[in-house]
Chain A
Amino acid sequence: MTHEPSSNEVSSEEVLDWLEGRLDPRRAQVVEVALAEPGSAAREFADWAQNLHRLSAELPLVAPPPVLSQRLRHLYLLRSGRGRPAIRVVARLDVDSRHPDPLVAVRGPLLDADARIQLTFTSEDADVVLDVAPTHPDGVTLRGQVLPRRPMPAAFQATAHGPSGSVSTIEGDAFGSFTLEQVPVDAEVVVLSNDELTIELPLSSTGHVT
């Protein structure tokens, strides 16, 4: 059924299009004639394709979050003692869009429930940009991206911790971007981690723009 069909033959592509209702009416009639013939190649293929559809419904294939994929690949090296030990760093605040003068020191919480702000943190291993957007009276949305300074797995799990609790996501993408929704404004630290690096972003009291 892979050769070019004559006008009365039908291809597997046409059978599939007919099954999906995509075939033009003229060719649909030709396909229907072929399908009506018991034991025809078209009929067998149509039956097979419908069975495939039925079975595929029992086989959902879903790509896991990139950070999980990275972790799964790393398991073997960890078990065999060949994985790199994870490094933990505390990044320092480098830029706060509310304070363009880099010599101004700020104290108190960095998050702001009323204004959209941009923060940049830096460390020896990676920089992190963080966009803070108010979402409701007591919370903000944090959209960020980790920019590694050396080759490393790019996806990170992100967690914000504070007195009001923790918010976490494993849905960071393969480019280091992540989004934390409904983060309480009293969150004290954001922790970004994968199998090679954990970055702490301090969000309160000691936030100095240097």
Chain B
Amino acid sequence: MSGHLFRLPARDVEPLDGVNPPAEHHGGDLLRRCREGDSSAWEEIVERYERLVFGMAMREGLNRDDAADVTQIVFEALLTSLDKIREGEHVSAWLVVVTRRQAWRVRTRHLRERPVSEVDPGAELAVSGLANAAGAEPDRVLDLYEALSSLGEPCRELLTALYFDPSEPSYEEVAVRLGRPVGSIGPSRARCLEHLRKILANRTPS
């Protein structure tokens, strides 16, 4: 399947009037509000991006403790860089770059600390492969993430659980987690995906 299908031709997709202006899509408005001293904007940034950063750190081969350290470092870096991030720069792209860099540092430090006899070249190659795969289509992946973030909470939570949770929970587990009847998961999933599709079709490419 060719990649261009992801940003589908909008033949049967209606425009979404008033759904999340572009600046809100890539977090620019949140950054501006943070610079102006609005602490609720920072809360929104954390809410929107903490799963992305923590999940990306784990995908880079870190355990949960190291991923937590990296996540904190990345958000501290974002806070100290609020004035340096250019207008229009995507927050998610910035976060992913810094997360990968920090994760690489942690992995390198662990490698230096391990005796040579413990180093498994296969495992190192696997981690390296993961990192490369994560960078295969960064723009599309981040477009998807920003579109997902701009969904309302019920759809965002549902699609995150169904499609983006590495533990791949069953419909029954998702229903329990979200407190919804299991029979509602399928129809809701379809409606939410249609909505996500419309958002992606209407947004400006990064």
A residues apposed to B, CB below 8 Å: 1-2, 11-13, 16-17, 22, 41, 44-45, 47-56, 58-65, 68-69, 71-73, 75-77, 79-80, 82, 170-171
User: Nearest-CB distance from B64 to chain A (Å)?
Assistant: 7
Q: Which residues of A contact B68 (CB under 8 A)?
A: 64-65, 68, 170
Is the pair B186, A53 in contact by a Cβ cutoff of 8 Å?
no
Per DSSP, are chain B's interface residues mostly helix, strand or loop, or mixed?
helix
Taking A52-B193, A73-B43 as contacts, is the C-beta distance between A64 and B75 under 8 angstroms?
no
Q: Which residues of A contact B56 (CB under 8 A)?
A: 60
Taking A48-B8, A55-B137, A76-B79 as contacts, is the C-beta distance between A12 and B190 under 8 angstroms?
yes
Is the pair B34, A44 in contact by a Cβ cutoff of 8 Å?
no
User: Nearest-CB distance from B77 to chain A (Å)?
Assistant: 11
User: Nearest-CB distance from A1 to chain B (Å)?
Assistant: 7
Question: 16 extra interchain contacts, Cβ-Cβ under 8 A, other than A59-B52, A69-B50?
Answer: A11-B190, A13-B186, A44-B12, A48-B8, A49-B193, A51-B5, A62-B54, A62-B58, A62-B165, A62-B166, A65-B64, A72-B46, A75-B79, A76-B79, A80-B37, A170-B68
Is the pair A171, B64 in contact by a Cβ cutoff of 8 Å?
yes
Number of interface residues, chain B, beta carbon within 8 A: 54
Mind listing 30 A-B residue pairs with CB under 8 Å? A1-B12, A45-B197, A47-B1, A51-B1, A51-B5, A52-B144, A52-B163, A56-B163, A58-B133, A58-B136, A59-B52, A59-B145, A60-B58, A60-B59, A61-B164, A62-B67, A64-B71, A65-B68, A68-B68, A68-B72, A69-B46, A71-B72, A72-B72, A72-B75, A75-B42, A76-B34, A79-B79, A80-B39, A170-B64, A170-B68
- A70 and chain B: residue at smallest CB distance: B46
Taking A44-B8, A62-B54 as contacts, is the C-beta distance between A51 and B190 under 8 angstroms?
no
Per DSSP, are chain A's interface residues mostly helix, strand or loop, or mixed?
helix
Is the pair A64, B190 in contact by a Cβ cutoff of 8 Å?
no
Q: Which residues of B contact A49 (CB under 8 A)?
A: 193
Taking A51-B5, A77-B39 as contacts, is the C-beta distance between A59 and B141 under 8 angstroms?
yes
